[in-house]
Amino acid sequence: MPRGDLFPDIAPYETGLLPLQGGHVMYWEQVGNPRGRPVLFLHGGPGAGAGAVHRRFFDPGHWRVVIFDQRGAGRSRPLGELSQNTTPHLVEDIEALRRFLRIEDWVLFGGSWGSTLALAYAQAYPERVAGCVLRGIFLGRRREVEWFLDGMRRFFPDAWGQFAGHLPADERDDLLGSFLRRLTDPDPQVHFAAARVWSQYEGLCSTLLPSPETVASFAQDRSALGLARIEAHYFANDLFLPPEGLLGHMDRIAHLPAEIVQGRYDMVCPPESAFDLAAAWPRARLTVVPDAGHSALEPGVRLALVAALERFRGH
């Protein structure tokens, strides 16, 4: 997939490992201009981890880009660890990283679960947030989880058939519980097999047109395990969000500027949530990409995200 509309590949100018409570260790990196405006990249999942391509959304001459892998994900350790792995833990990890890097405030950039975590952090620490650029909105509501587990079969019956078909017929009434048991099974043959199936399902449904490259990236064993195990763990616990949900605390961030980018045909995080968020956020600008699905690397979504970041230069 050509990605000439993104900035060129760039290596970090600094990387590190930050010890966290509960035996977790966070991988972090900084990219771009050390004296630039700070922006924090929040990856999806939960559990997906960040990659080199995510550095390329940001003009390296303007932004001081901070990227990290959340607990149990990517290059953070231990991989796939569920102990002390909740949304409040991740919010405090972000704040610990901000203090460690001595950043006064930053722009938050996140998609899918990254948008959820951005909202949770911003509502907890609004004084540390200069604004948000969010994509593929996921608010962590029960109906959004149920859509992922069962609703997507209406549009991707073949992908859902492979997903559900990994389980014996008598376990398919509880897809989430049955997968979570396998994903947390100590036998690598059991948990890796379940992780590949879960992650491939998400990959198959993430783009408007079939993308073997996207599916292959989701199916790699290490990235698949972090994504599938942690995602199932969070889904089983209502994303560790308060009963009133994220929309119940929008008053805390109503003053912040926001850019929301949403693919019209996003099947993983349908547009309803983006419209609900925009309606509750006075300073949010919603851009609907007419020919895109869920992935941040869909051509129209890439362009819209880069344009949104450019507009933030003026805030």
Whether 230 is in a domain gets the answer yes
Query: Is the pLDDT assigned to residue 1 strictly greater than 50?
Result: no
Whether 5 is in a domain gets the answer no
Predicted confidence at residue 68, as pLDDT, reads: 98
Are 21 and 163 in a shared domain? Answer: no
Dihedrals φ, ψ of 83, to 5°? -65, 135
Q: How many separate domains does the chain show?
A: 2
pLDDT category of residue 214 using cuts at 50, 70 and 90: confident
Are 81 and 135 in a shared domain? Answer: yes
Predicted confidence at residue 218, as pLDDT, reads: 78
Among the listed residues 43, 93, 249, 266, the single catalytic one is: 266
Whether 112 is in a domain gets the answer yes
Residue that the structure tokens 């994303």 belong to: 239
Angle at 295 between CA 241 and CA 217, to 5 degrees: 100
Cα–Cα distance measured from residue 229 to residue 81, given in angstroms and rounded to the nearest whole number: 9
DSSP bridge pairs for 64: 32, 38
Tens digit of each residue's pLDDT (9 = 90 or more) over 30-59: 999 999 999 999 999 999 999 999 999 999
Are 271 and 284 in a shared domain? Answer: yes
Whether 66 is in a domain gets the answer yes
Are 26 and 131 in a shared domain? Answer: yes
Residue 178 designated active-site: no
| CA distances for 18 relative to 94, 123, 257, 281, 284, angstroms | 11, 24, 30, 33, 33
Among the listed residues 43, 76, 93, 112, the single catalytic one is: 112
Helix-strand-coil percent breakdown of the chain, rounded to 5? Answer: 45, 15, 35
For residue 124 the two structure tokens come to 């907890």
Query: 185, 203, 238 — which closes off a domain?
Result: 238
pLDDT category of residue 168 using cuts at 50, 70 and 90: very high
Are 247 and 132 in a shared domain? Answer: yes
Whether 6 is in a domain gets the answer no
Cα–Cα distance measured from residue 131 to residue 314, given in angstroms and rounded to the nearest whole number: 12
Predicted confidence at residue 3, as pLDDT, reads: 60
Query: 198, 217, 238 — which closes off a domain?
Result: 238
DSSP bridge pairs for 106: 129
Are 136 and 154 in a shared domain? Answer: no
Q: Is 94 exposed, middle or buried (0-12, 13-18, 19+ CB in 10 A)?
A: buried
Are 184 and 304 in a shared domain? Answer: no
Whether 9 is in a domain gets the answer no
Q: How many residues are there in the chain?
A: 315
Residue that the structure tokens 């950039």 belong to: 109
Predicted confidence at residue 284, as pLDDT, reads: 98
The more confidently predicted of residues 211 and 107 is: 107
Predicted confidence at residue 94, as pLDDT, reads: 98
Tens digit of each residue's pLDDT (9 = 90 or more) over 250-290: 999 999 999 999 999 999 999 999 999 999 999 999 999 99
Are 31 and 57 in a shared domain? Answer: yes
Query: Is the pLDDT assigned to residue 4 strictly greater than 90?
Result: no
Tens digit of each residue's pLDDT (9 = 90 or more) over 300-313: 999 999 999 999 98
Residue 89 designated active-site: no
Q: Is 126 exposed, middle or buried (0-12, 13-18, 19+ CB in 10 A)?
A: middle
Query: Is the pLDDT assigned to residue 120 strictly greater than 90?
Result: yes
Are 187 and 272 in a shared domain? Answer: no
What CATH number corresponds to the domain at position 98? 3.40.50.1820
* Close Cβ partners of 267 (under 8 Å, ≥ 6 residues apart): 152, 155, 156, 205, 206, 293, 294
278 and 272 in contact (C-beta within 8 Å)? no
Angle at 240 between CA 264 and CA 138, to 5 degrees: 5
Are 26 and 136 in a shared domain? Answer: yes
pLDDT category of residue 220 using cuts at 50, 70 and 90: confident
Query: Is the pLDDT assigned to residue 189 strictly greater than 90?
Result: yes
Q: Tell me what the mean pLDDT of segment 80-103 comes to.
A: 98
Q: Tell me what the mean pLDDT of segment 223-229 comes to.
A: 94
Q: Which of 92, 119, 93 is nearest to 108 (CA)?
A: 119
pLDDT category of residue 81 using cuts at 50, 70 and 90: very high
Residue 112 designated active-site: yes
Are 108 and 123 in a shared domain? Answer: yes
For residue 193 the two structure tokens come to 């097999």
Query: 175, 208, 238 — which closes off a domain?
Result: 238
> Residue 196 is inside which H or E element, if any?
helix 188-204
Cα–Cα distance measured from residue 222 to residue 119, given in angstroms and rounded to the nearest whole number: 27
- Return the percentage of the chain with pLDDT > 90, whole number: 93
Predicted confidence at residue 216, as pLDDT, reads: 79
Predicted confidence at residue 259, as pLDDT, reads: 98
Whether 278 is in a domain gets the answer yes
Between helix 221-236 and helix 188-204 the angle, nearest 10°, is 80
Q: Which domain holds residue 222?
A: 143-238
| CA distances for 85 relative to 79, 128, 185, 241, angstroms | 12, 23, 18, 13
Predicted confidence at residue 74, as pLDDT, reads: 95
- The whole-chain average pLDDT of the chain stands at 96
Whether 299 is in a domain gets the answer yes
Give the amino acid at 206: S
For residue 79 the two structure tokens come to 């991989």
Are 176 and 301 in a shared domain? Answer: no
